[in-house]
Amino acid sequence: MNRSLNLFNDLSRFILTTSTKYKIDESHDISHSMKVLHYAHNIYKQEVRYNPCISEHKDIIYISATLHDMCDNKYMNESKGLEDIISFLDTKITTDESNVISSIISTMSYSKVKKYGFPNLGLYQTAYHIVREADLLSAYDFDRCIIYDMKVNNKSFEDAFYRAEELFQSRVFRHGDDELFTTGYAITQYPVLHNQAIEQIQNWKNILNIE
């Protein structure tokens, strides 16, 4: 079995186990991890053409994208989650790689970027942006936002729908204006996802017969 396949077998098991332990719902579980990984892969493919050096950071990018929500403070104590991730990675990658992954996933959230700005990760700055922007692109899924509020906050569908619409208007639809995208793929892709989200919201309004 090749190294990548073996690694992702282990990553998948870790995510499934962690999701069960902390009751991480489908808005942040393995299906979300896979979606973010695909976005990260697409961004990476484009960025590596212009910056071949980041090929050395490919594993860091993919692992960070896959594990980024396995320490999310919406579900667990973030520090404990990071400790579990580092312990899990202990025999799989180098200590330096593990430290970089910890730095990426502990600083990439929307709320931390808005509060503190982008961290300075030196040689790994592009890897950081790839993972962070992959997660931002996945945020354009309006249904995912509804599911989270219903599952985690026990909201009714109606309340979750209106809360999601408010969140999209105040946050998600402002990602571009807030200059949160730096990579070529994300800059060209987010307007497409923006329009799809608008259509998704309107479809729900048509289904629910609301203005």
- pTM here? 0.95
Secondary structure string (H, E, C) spanning the chain: CCHHHHHHHHHHHHHHHHHHHHCCCCCCCHHHHHHHHHHHHHHHHHHHHHCHHHHHHHHHHHHHHHHCCCCCCCCCCHHHHHHHHHHHHCCCCCHHHHHHHHHHHCCCCHHHHHHHCCCCCHHHHHHHHHHHHHHHHHCCCHHHHHHHHHHHCCCCHHHHHHHHHHHHHHCHHHCCCCCCCCCHHHHHHHHHHHHHHHHHHHHHHHHHCCC
Question: Is 63 or 5 the better-scoring residue by pLDDT?
Answer: 63
Question: Is 3 or 84 the better-scoring residue by pLDDT?
Answer: 84
- Per the structure, the complete domain to which residue 173 belongs is given by 3-208
CA distance 192 to 184: 14
Q: How many domains does the chain have?
A: 1
Confidence of residue 5 (pLDDT cuts 50, 70, 90): confident
- Given a cut of 60, whether residue 108 has pLDDT beyond it is yes
Question: Is 44 or 4 the better-scoring residue by pLDDT?
Answer: 44
Q: What is the CATH number of the domain that holds 58?
A: 1.10.3210
pLDDT tens-digit profile of 119-142?
Answer: 999 999 999 999 999 999 999 999
